[in-house]
Amino acid sequence: MRWILLPLLTLIRAIWCAHGACEPIRIEMCRGLGYNVTVMPNLVGHEIQGDADFTLQTFSPLIQYGCSAQLHLFLCSVYAPMCTEKVPAPIGPCRGLCEQVRARCYPVLQGFGFPWPAALNCSKFPPENNHQHMCMEGPGEPGPANPIQAISTSNGPWGCSWYAKSGLYIFLNRSGRCAAACDADILWSQKDKRLAEAWMAVFVTVSLVSVAIAILTLLKPRKRPILTSPAERAIVFLTICHAAVAIGYVIRLAAGRLNVACTPVIQLHPQEQAVLAQQQQQLQQQQQQYLTQDGLANPYCAVVFLLLYYFGNAAIVW
């Protein structure tokens, strides 16, 4: 029996030493939460409390916003987990606590253009508190979450009221600017837009046919090699540039106007929509789309812009 217990005790001691010894919590944000000691490294790999404190400060605006009453406890349980000599591992949050906080706070982060931190991935935490994996479950949420303020029609000193058709614009908190709603007919009607799209398809077809004819002409057998004269080189480069521009328009037509020109204000996970079911009007507003202002937020827009702008200018130069 002694030979069985000795290796077991050695293993427990090794695990305990690997996680370090319990130390008083020196992070001001995590004091007074029901436990006074923590252990380093924490659940995200910080070796000292100073590093954990620095990271926690970045969450201060979210805590002050009040998206979840359990956010404070959840963050501290990750960055300053509970420590006790009776358990050889740090005691962090349960998965349920993480999911409750994420359901309420992720829409707020998304509304301001921030992703959910990878270090706070809920799948990393124990599913429940039991004798095998101890974790903190939290007291539960006392009431509904604060409304999400990703967009508004009245934020800022005057919102979007200085526009002639202010009701067709969306005020974006993340950038402080107004953007036209994607389905708004401000300068042109739906009929004008469909007519422009039809003419675009016609001109793209003509451009592709012209490019194909130019390529076939250049590939015809000839007595001397091509690209020997400046005129031929210019024609080759012009053909390449116009082919790239035509491809850009083809992508635009194939993907559709909404996919290329518009960006959803916010996309909520079904679970998050269920948690925020009492805010149906707010959810409908969050799912609106606006004309893209930052092309990097829409990959279709970025690709079409690069093809049309750079190759179009190159064709003009040639």
Supply the pLDDT for residue 16: 43
Supply the pLDDT for residue 159: 58
**pLDDT band (50, 70, 90) for residue 66:** confident
Supply the pLDDT for residue 267: 42
Residues 257-308 pLDDT 10s: 888 888 776 544 444 444 444 334 443 444 467 777 765 668 888 899 999 9
Supply the pLDDT for residue 67: 85
Q: What distance in Å separates the CA atoms of residue 43 and residue 136, rounded to the nearest whole number?
A: 13
Q: What distance in Å separates the CA atoms of residue 75 and residue 247, rounded to the nearest whole number?
A: 48
| Global pTM value | 0.46
Supply the pLDDT for residue 38: 93
Residues 172-182 pLDDT 10s: 666 667 888 88
Supply the pLDDT for residue 7: 46
Q: What is the mean pLDDT of the chain?
A: 77
Dihedral of the alpha carbons of 306, 308, 309, 315, in degrees to the nearest 10: 120
Q: What distance in Å separates the CA atoms of residue 205 and residue 198, rounded to the nearest whole number?
A: 11
Q: What distance in Å separates the CA atoms of residue 34 and residue 187, rounded to the nearest whole number?
A: 60
CB 172 within 8 A of CB 149: no
Q: Give Cα 55 to chain centroid, integer Å.
A: 19
Supply the pLDDT for residue 80: 94
Residues 187-246 pLDDT 10s: 888 889 899 999 999 999 999 999 888 888 877 776 666 666 777 778 888 888 989 999
Q: Does position 318 have pLDDT exceeding 60, yes or no?
A: yes
Q: Does position 122 have pLDDT exceeding 90, yes or no?
A: yes
Supply the pLDDT for residue 143: 54
Q: What distance in Å separates the CA atoms of residue 314 and residue 159, rounded to the nearest whole number?
A: 40
How is residue 6 written in tokens? Answer: 């000795």
DSSP labels, the chain: -HHHHHHHHHHHHHHHHHH---EE---GGGTTSS--EE-SS-TT--SSHHHHHHHHHTTHHHHHHTS-TTHHHHHHHHHS-B--TTSSS-BEE-HHHHHHHHHHHHHHHHHTT-PPPGGG-GGGS-SS--SSS-EE------SPPPPP-SEESS-TTTTTTTSTTGGGEEEETTTTEEEEBTT--SSS-HHHHHHHHHHHHHHHHHHHHHHHHHHHHHHS--SS-SS-SHHHHHHHHHHHHHHHHHHHHHHHHHH-HHHHHEEES----HHHHHHTGGGHHHHHHHT-EEE-SSGGG-HHHHHHHHHHHHHHHHHHH-
Q: Does position 104 have pLDDT exceeding 70, yes or no?
A: yes
**pLDDT band (50, 70, 90) for residue 78:** very high
Supply the pLDDT for residue 133: 84
Q: Does position 30 have pLDDT exceeding 70, yes or no?
A: yes
Q: Give Cα 102 to chain centroid, integer Å.
A: 14
Q: Does position 95 have pLDDT exceeding 90, yes or no?
A: yes
Supply the pLDDT for residue 280: 41
Length of the chain: 318
Pairing of strands 177-180, 169-172: antiparallel
Residues 123-178 pLDDT 10s: 999 998 888 888 998 877 665 544 444 444 444 444 576 667 777 777 766 666 78
